[in-house]
Amino acid sequence: MLHNGEATLLRLGEPASPVPAPVAALPLAYNADRGNMNTATNQASRWLFPGRRAGQPARPDHLSALLGEIGIPVAAARGAAIRQQLLELPAPVLADALGYHDKTTSRLLRENGGAWSRYAAGDHTRSPAGWAPHPLTDG
C-alpha cells in the first residue's frame, strides 16, 4: 500500500493500481492499526498484511483462515470474483492473467450465462499474411 497524501496505490503487481478515494479509506485505516507490527522486524513493513518473517507478506492460508473466522467463505468469494471478471473480460484473457486453463474459464463463462463469441484469441498485433488495407476512395 502506497499513500502520498493525495493518491493511494495498491501494488499487486507492476504497475501499482490506484485505489479510489472512497475505498482507499478502508485499507488506510487498516494499515494504521495492523496486527503483527510489534516485532522489531515488522515495524516499518509496507506490506498490507505483513507476515511473521521480516520483509515477507502473510501466507495465503493464514489470510484464508482469518477471512473464515469473520464469516467470509473464501472459495465462494473467489468463485464469485472470477465469474464477475468473466462478464467483463474474454475467458482466454482471464485464463492467461490468472493462470487458469482456458477451458475452465470458458466453462465458468457458460455457466454464468456470458458470451464472448466475437472474441478472437491470438496475437492481434500483426496483420495476417497477404492482408493489405483497402485504399480509401472518394464516393
Q: Determine the pLDDT at residue 139.
A: 45
- Over residues 125-137, the mean pLDDT reads 59
What was the pLDDT predicted at 23?
85
Which residue did the predictor score with more confidence, 127 or 76?
76
State the angle between helix axes of 91-98 and 102-112 in degrees (0 to 180), rounded to the nearest 10.
Answer: 130
Query: Which pLDDT belongs to residue 48?
Result: 77
Q: Find residue 8's DSSP bridge partners.
A: 3
Adjacent-strand bridge partners of 10: 17
Per-chain mean pLDDT for the chain: 77
Could you tell me the pTM of the whole model? 0.51
Does residue 60 register a pLDDT over 80?
yes
Where does 1-139 show beta strands of DSSP type E? 2-3, 8-10, 17-18
Question: What is the DSSP pairing of strand 2-3 with strand 17-18?
Answer: unpaired
Residue 128 has pLDDT above 80, yes or no: no
CA-wise closest residue to 57 among 74, 70, 42, 43: 42
Q: What is the mean pLDDT of residues 42-71?
A: 81
54's CB contacts (< 8 A; 6+ apart) are 41, 42, 45
pLDDT digit string, tens, across residues 61-118 = 888 998 889 898 888 888 888 888 888 888 888 888 888 888 888 888 888 777 666 5
119 pLDDT higher than 70: no
